[in-house]
Amino acid sequence: MLDHRHFHKYLSRADIETLVHDLATRINRDYEGKTVVLVGVLKGSFLFMADLVRALTVDARVEFVRMNSLGKTKESPGTVVFAKDISTDFRGKHALIVEQIIDSGRALKFLYDRLKAAGAESVEVATLLDKNDKRLVETPVKYVGRKTKDQFLVGYGLDLEESARNLAEVYFLKYPN
């Protein structure tokens, strides 16, 4: 069972709706007259993806990928591999990676390079949350909902050992000292 006593509200429904609306406004403007393929990173992005894509008025398509870090230890970041690779032909298409949160940026860089190699006309990144202080691998992130410090967040797609993804709002975890 999830113990909610240490969950503290970080983003309310209204906060999320505002962030999604503002990102969608920019994306609609930037991709006007174009077709964009949103590439959602599973599992965390599924709710953000669903909200963002419904706020778009441009011709938008969806694709999903899932990545795993193999051989990850405290000392080594391991190697990123696809558990589910892209299955869209990206040649001549605009790709927009949709992330829930970006931390080290390792998985993001791997996906960015994959989409470039697949012949995408352009590759940009949209994330709801950005822990930019924690970045180890740089990839340009054009659309950021909110910058956040290094704290553990759950809900709205973000998991606590696979639970809590279904919560409609985002919480930070804080345990009493």
Q: Is 159 in the site for Mg ion (CB under 5 A)?
A: yes
Q: Which does 158 bind (CB under 5 to 8 A by kind): Mg ion, ligand 5GP, none?
A: ligand 5GP
Q: From 66, 94, 70, select the one nearest 82 (Cα to Cα).
A: 66
In terms of CB distance, is 27 or 108 closer to ligand 5GP?
A: 108
Q: Is 114 in the site for ligand 5GP (CB under 6 A)?
A: no
Distance separating alpha carbons of residues 87 and 65, to the nearest angstrom: 9
In terms of CB distance, is 15 or 103 closer to ligand 5GP?
A: 103
Q: Which does 105 bind (CB under 5 to 8 A by kind): Mg ion, ligand 5GP, none?
A: ligand 5GP
**Helix or strand run (H / E) with residue 112:** helix 106-117
**Helix or strand run (H / E) with residue 54:** helix 46-54
Instruction: Indicate which single residue of 28, 88, 104, 122 sits in contact with ligand 5GP (rule: CB under 6 A).
Output: 104
- Cβ pair 141, 123 in contact under 8 A: no
